[in-house]
Chain A
């Protein structure tokens, strides 16, 4: 009988050890989760930052492409204006001269 009791005591000791070890693991899991939770804002902020930086890069890249188109179009328009201006310069000078001479017209 004493052998049986001894066996039970041994088994209970082993069970206690198992539970103790499990409790230790539970505490470790809890500590780990709490540590993660505390650092979560930093992780989420880093994720947001990465997403926003990618967005900014994409927005700026598109804006730069569009800017180049706008400026190229302006260059073309400026060239067209130069061409038109050169072509119509004499006519315009005539108009200006006529405008100046018109100031003497009131005395007629």
Chain B
């Protein structure tokens, strides 16, 4: 039995071709499998890191909120500082005005009524009036203080000046003889009370447009 050389060549070629086809298939399958493995790994990594990434994104957003929050706070402080500066200026001017008014008749009347008011609050008795040296002179010339206090308090009253003058802008610091009851009517104290009690009205007078803007905003 003989076989032609072409038939032998065909067998050999078939064997090699099959091997080549197998090789190609093996590699293609390996590549598909490799792609799947990479894709799965990518998905797993994303799943594992999604929480971490979300937290980082939130932190990034929060950093913007922090910047804006700080700016809002700084802006608020700028406006508050500007207002406080102007209000302080107004009170400083008022203090200076008082210093100029200390010789006027209105100031004299003011002292008189402060003393009477304080004397009534103390309830009469021995009333000691502490004041500036210059105001002591004014007060010593005011008449009818004890009578007015006695009448309103229903208790006899005696008004006398404190032995030592007090360092103050103006007004009076009143006490009973024992010194356990005091009424502070010094101008600086009254200015502070005006600031506390009339803050809103003062602000509205100083900044009427701002008040309107606030109303518009509301």
A residues bordering B, Cβ < 8 Å? 1, 3-4, 7-8, 10-12, 14-16, 18-19, 21-23, 25-26, 29-30, 32-34, 36-38, 40-41, 43-45, 48-49, 51-52, 55-56, 59-60, 62-64, 66-68, 70-71, 73-75, 77-78, 80-82, 84-86, 88-89, 91-93, 95-97, 99-101, 103-108
A55→B3 CA distance, assembly (Å): 76
Q: Which of B122-130, B133-141, B154-162, B186-194 contacts A (4 or more CB under 8 A)?
A: B186-194
Contacts of B79 in A (CB 8 A): 74, 77-78, 81
Q: How far is the CA of A100 from the CA of B106 in the complex (A)?
A: 12
- Cα of A56 to Cα of B74 in the assembled complex, Å: 22
Contact A95 B205 (CB under 8 A): yes
The secondary structure that dominates the B interface is helix
From A1, A52, A66, A88, give the contact of B53 (CB < 8 A): A52
Would you list which residues of chain B between 42 and 94 have a CB under 8 Å from chain A? 42, 44-46, 48-49, 52-53, 56-57, 59-61, 63-65, 67-68, 70-72, 74-76, 78-79, 81-83, 86, 89-91, 93-94
Q: A73-B75, A96-B191 are in contact. List 15 more A-B contacts (CB 8 A).
A: A4-B8, A11-B16, A18-B20, A18-B23, A36-B41, A67-B68, A77-B79, A86-B86, A88-B208, A89-B89, A89-B90, A96-B198, A103-B190, A103-B193, A107-B113
Q: In the complex, are the beta carbons of A97 and B190 less than 8 A apart?
A: no
Q: Which residues of B contact A75 (CB under 8 A)?
A: 78
Interface residues on B, range: 35 or more
Q: Are A101 and B106 in contact (CB under 8 A)?
A: yes
Q: Determine the chain B residues whose CB is within 8 A of the CB of A62 once the complex forms.
A: 64
Q: B1 within 8 Å of A by Cβ?
A: yes
Q: Using Cβ atoms and an 8 Å threshold, which residues of chain A touch B148?
A: 107
